[in-house]
Structures are given as structure tokens and as C-alpha cells.
Amino acid sequence: MSAQVQILFKNSTKKNSHTLKVHKEGGGYKQVEKAFGLSTEDIIDEVKRSGIRGRGGAGFPAGLKWSFIPKDNSRDKYLVCNADEGEPGTCKDRDIIRYVPHQLIEGMIIAAYAVGAERGYIYIRGEFVREAEILQKAIDEAYKEGYLGENILDKGIRFDLAIHRGAGAYVCGEETGLLESLEGKKGQPRVKPPFPANIGLWGGPTVINNVETLAAVPAIIEKGGEWYGKLGVEKSSGTKLFSISGHVNKPGNYEVELGIPMKTLIEEYAGGVRGGWDNLKGIIPGGASSAILPKEVCETVTMDYDAIAKAGSMLGSGAVVVIDKSVCIVKAVERLSRFYRHESCGQCTPCREGTGWMSQIMTRIEAGGGVEGDIELLGSICGNISGKTICALGDAAVGPIAGSIKAFREEYLYHVEHGRCMVG
């Protein structure tokens, strides 16, 4: 196992790493000072140069996102951190908040300065009770030390930061659903355009970034975008946290450079597949919404945005779910389909009706009531949802079903024909 560059988790193993004191001892908050010495354009350029892509799932270049904030808009601008980590299998943001909350706060101060936001919110999922407490303590410490507030480091720069706890809706992790929820409304994604960069929170220009993205910003400022850009592979630069779960011997969060072979990640870092590599059935590479990759693909694929996309799935949030041969794919996907039915906000027709319909069909097949044509019907429904919804939840619901039908069609056929699982 080769030693990996640690950016996000650099200090996470130290005792009391969540305190301001330990953070500062590790060089924390120095980058705020450095950033305030730079022009906002320079910071955005540096982040652009780093090539860092949004770590929430969509992988949109963060620097480009920041540069969309209009300079001439007189309305208040906002920076929102998306800590509504809801993608099944993902638990990376939780560890950042738990162990290095000041790294996130530092990143947010720099980002807010770069885009001209004087107010920031961290929208954290409701279930993260302890994490919200830790984060609040960290924010309080930062206020006390003058890193947050009306006059940061006596530079006349203002940034106020507040936590907002969600109420348990997956869809509030979608950035515009999050904004609606933050405004006190029902969490339903907005129609885009207009994009949040123009009309976001309370109608003002808004940048929304994932926890992991923002936590990487101090390092980019410290060592430069070029340095960061050299990590990883082309178009997938930097390090990434992978939350590895399922049938592995050492599940957990691992920070590695993007582009690492999937097999290496599982075998060397996560302690290998339960019962050995050959016991592997497939891997969901980027959270529940990404299509499952069968073992043959897992042998060679590398963990970067483009390679995974080429293999027919997506890197998403970096939640790697390892599935061994004891699992009935139909049953696993049936469970996921119920999740998406439950979490669809119900706003737009294809997702509202489609997720419910697919879930009912999956349940019927799983219960032994499948009929001929069901698999084709599922495929057709997937096609009618995909790309026709307001937000990406529709596509996310399609991902596991379409992906598993493609990779494990025989298991579906067996279920329909025999009325029971192929395994177990």
C-alpha cells in the first residue's frame, strides 16, 4: 500500500483535532490571512487552476462555479455549504465535520471572500446531531478568535456563518431543494434556469459547495492550484474521500488520489472483499444513484470521473458499496427503489409517478409476482424518467435499476421465471 497525500485528513488523526487550537497548530487559519492578501480574481483563478471538481456528486468544476457569481449584482450574495450528506453509502462529510470542522470553516471564509458573500450557511442533515454540535462549537470558537464576524482579522471583511439543520429529506441535498428548505419552504428543487449563481438564496447570487470541496480550499491556497492539479489524473485532479462500505474487511473513509484503480482501493485500502476478490459480484462506485459495475469492469476501472463515466456509471459522492456473491441484486435494487420512491419530492410527474411505479414493479418481482415483460417495462419507465425531470433525483432513481438490469439481467429473468432469488 503506497502512502497517499493527505489533504483533508491531514490532521484528522490528531487528538482533539476538532478544536481550533489543534487546527492552528497544524497551520490552520493561516490561509485566511494569505487569501485576504490576494484579489478575489486571483483566488478564483487559483481554484480554477487546481481543477477541483465538486465533491457532492455532480463533479462540476468549483472554480468555474465561483466565477459565475455576477459582480454587478447589488443583491446580497450567499455562500452555502451542502452538508446534507444523504446519498446512501456516503459518510465522508460527516468525518470532515467530526474531526476537522475548522478546515471547512477556513475553506468557507476563503470561498466567501472570493465570491463576495458576507453570509454563509451550513445546511447539515438533521440526523447529524453530534456533528452539528461539534460544528457549532467550532463556529463559536472561530467567532471568538475573530475568524468570523463583522471584521475578520481587522481587515474589514465580514462573514457570518450559521448552521441550519435539515429535517430528513434526501432531496434537500439537491442544491435548489436545499435553498427552498433553507428559506423555510417545502424542500422541492427549483426549475433551472435561473441557476443559483444568479438567483439563489432569498433571490441573491449564491454559491453552493459540498463540504469536501470547501475543506480542500485551504490547501489549494497554501500550495497553489498547480500543485493540487498535479495530484490525481487529468480532469480528475486532487485527492478524494471514498466511503467504502458493504462486504469489505475494513470499511471506512479513505483519502486517496483520484485515478487510483478500483481494485487497489478495495484490496489494499479497504482490506479486500469479504471472502476474497473472487467472491465479488459488483461494486456501486459512487453512491446508491450510480449504476452498479459488475466484477469484470471492477477489475480494471480507475476511480476518476471520466473512467467511471466511461464504464457506464458515475463517481458521484465517492460512496463505494461492495457487493459480494451472497447478495440477490434484485432484492438489493428493490430496497433502493423503495428509497427513491420515498424520497422523490413528488413535484414533477416523471419522478413522482415513475419512482412509485418502478418500486411497485420491483417489489412485485422480488415477491415472486413478476410477469413476462416486466423487465422491458422497467427499462421503458427508466427511459421515460431519465432526463425529463426537474432535478437529478429522477436520474438517480433510474441509475441502480437501469444499471443492474444491464449488468445482471439474468438475475431478473430468473426472478420473473422462478418467482424467487437466484442466490440464497
Partner 1 sequence: MPTLIIDGKEISVKPGATIMEAAKQLGVYIPHFCYHPKLSVSGNCRMCLVEVEKMPRPVISCAMPVNDGMVVKTNSEMVTEARKGVMEFLLINHPLDCPVCDQGGECSLQDLAMKYGPDRSRYREEKRQFPNYDLGPLIETEMNRCIQCTRCIRFSTEVAGVEELGAVYRGDYMKVGPYVEKLTLSSEMAGNVAESCPVGALNLKPFHFEARGWELQQADGVCGHCSVGCQTSNEYLDDSIKRVSSRSCDEINLTWLCNKGRFSYDGLEKNRLEKPAIKGETGEISWQMALDQAAELIKSVKPDQVAGLADPSGRGAEELYAFQDFLRNAVGTPHVDHRIRLKDFSGDEVKLTRADLLMNTSLADMASADAILLIGSDSRFETPLLNLRLRQASLQGAKVFSLSPRLLNANLEGMQQIVLRPGSELAYLQSIVAAQGSGKGKGEAATIASALKKAKRPLIILGDYANYHPAAESIRRLAVEIAKKADALSSDWNGFNRIVSRGNAAAAQDLGVVPHRGPGHKGLESKGKNARKILKGAAEGTIKVLFLLGVDPLLDCTDSHLAKQAMEKAKIIYIGTHHSPVCKQADVVLAGLAPGEKQSTFTNCEGRVQRAEKAVNGPVESKEDWRILRALSDRFAKPLSYNTIESLHDAIAKADHRYDLSELYGDELGPACDHAPVTTGLKVSGSSKEMKGMTLIVESSFYHDEPQVRNSTTLALLDEGCSIRINPKDAASQKIEAGNTVRLISGEKKIELIAKIDEKVPEGVVFGQFGYVESPVQDLYDWEGEFPQISMVKL
Nearer to partner 1, 41 or 372 (CB): 372
Nearer to partner 1, 342 or 409 (CB): 342
Closest to 390 in 3D by CA, of 147, 86, 175, 118? 175
Please report how close the Cβ of residue 53 comes to partner 1 at its closest, in angstroms: 19
Please report how close the Cβ of residue 351 comes to partner 1 at its closest, in angstroms: 8
Q: Are strands 149-152 and 236-237 parallel, antiparallel or unpaired?
A: unpaired
Q: Which residues bind partner 1 (CB under 8 A)?
A: 169, 171, 186, 191, 193, 341-350, 352-357, 360-361, 364, 371, 377, 380, 383-385, 387-390
User: Which amino acid appears at position 178 of this protein?
Assistant: L
Nearer to partner 1, 172 or 265 (CB): 172
Q: How far apart are CA 151 and CA 147, in angstroms?
A: 8
Please report how close the Cβ of residue 330 comes to partner 1 at its closest, in angstroms: 17
Residues forming beta bridges with residue 246, ordered by sequence position: 322
Give the H/E segment covering residue 320: strand 319-324
376: buried, middle or exposed (CB in 10 Å: 19+, 13-18, 0-12)?
A: exposed
Tell me if 32 sits within 8 A of 106, measured CB to CB.
yes
Q: How far apart are CA 153 and CA 137, in angstroms?
A: 20
Please report how close the Cβ of residue 339 comes to partner 1 at its closest, in angstroms: 11
Nearer to partner 1, 162 or 191 (CB): 191
Please report how close the Cβ of residue 46 comes to partner 1 at its closest, in angstroms: 31
Please report how close the Cβ of residue 377 comes to partner 1 at its closest, in angstroms: 6
Give the H/E segment covering residue 215: helix 211-223
Nearer to partner 1, 64 or 191 (CB): 191
Q: Which residues contact 3 (CB under 8 A, 6 or more apart)?
A: none
Closest to 290 in 3D by CA, of 304, 274, 309, 306? 309
Please report how close the Cβ of residue 292 comes to partner 1 at its closest, in angstroms: 23
Written as nine digits, the cell of 39 is 484579489
Please report how close the Cβ of residue 124 comes to partner 1 at its closest, in angstroms: 20
Nearer to partner 1, 31 or 344 (CB): 344
- Residue 214, Ramachandran bin (φ over 0: left; ψ between -120 and 50: alpha; else beta): alpha
Number of residues that make up the chain: 424
Nearer to partner 1, 120 or 189 (CB): 189
Q: How far apart are CA 328 and CA 317, in angstroms?
A: 24
Please report how close the Cβ of residue 370 comes to partner 1 at its closest, in angstroms: 11
Nearer to partner 1, 275 or 383 (CB): 383
Residues forming beta bridges with residue 209, ordered by sequence position: 81
Nearer to partner 1, 187 or 238 (CB): 187
Closest to 360 in 3D by CA, of 371, 347, 345? 371
